[in-house]
Amino acid sequence: MKFTAEVRVHYRPGTLDPQGQAVLRAIHSMGLPAVEDVRVGKSIRLTVEAADAEAARALITRLARDLLANPVLEDYGVEVHA
């Protein structure tokens, strides 16, 4: 059975986010000082073949943990859909 999944990776709270800071500076240079913080992450969409949703989630979680996210700096979330 085919499943689609989305992995969302983002910096852990308290971790410096240089891209987020660059975006924040650009927003402020546009004259929008009301924006106080920006955090930039990434979203990865995958399609996998698995016996069931649980197997698909296990596979995607392994990929997120071992390849897609840096466990020292980043957290991740996994969503799986049939």
pTM score, whole prediction: 0.85
Low-confidence stretches of the chain (pLDDT beneath 50):
none
Q: What does the longest C-alpha to C-alpha distance in the chain come to?
A: 52
What is the domain extent for residue 31?
A: 2-81
**Sign of the CA dihedral with 4 first, then 1, 78, and 42 last:** negative
- Residue pair 50/56 in contact by the 8 Å Cβ criterion: yes
∠ at Cα 54 (10, 51), nearest 5°?
Answer: 125
Q: How many domains does the chain have?
A: 1
| pLDDT score, position 35 | 98
- Could you tell me the CATH number of the domain that includes residue 7? 3.30.1280.10
20-37 pLDDT, tens digit per residue, is 999 999 999 999 999 999
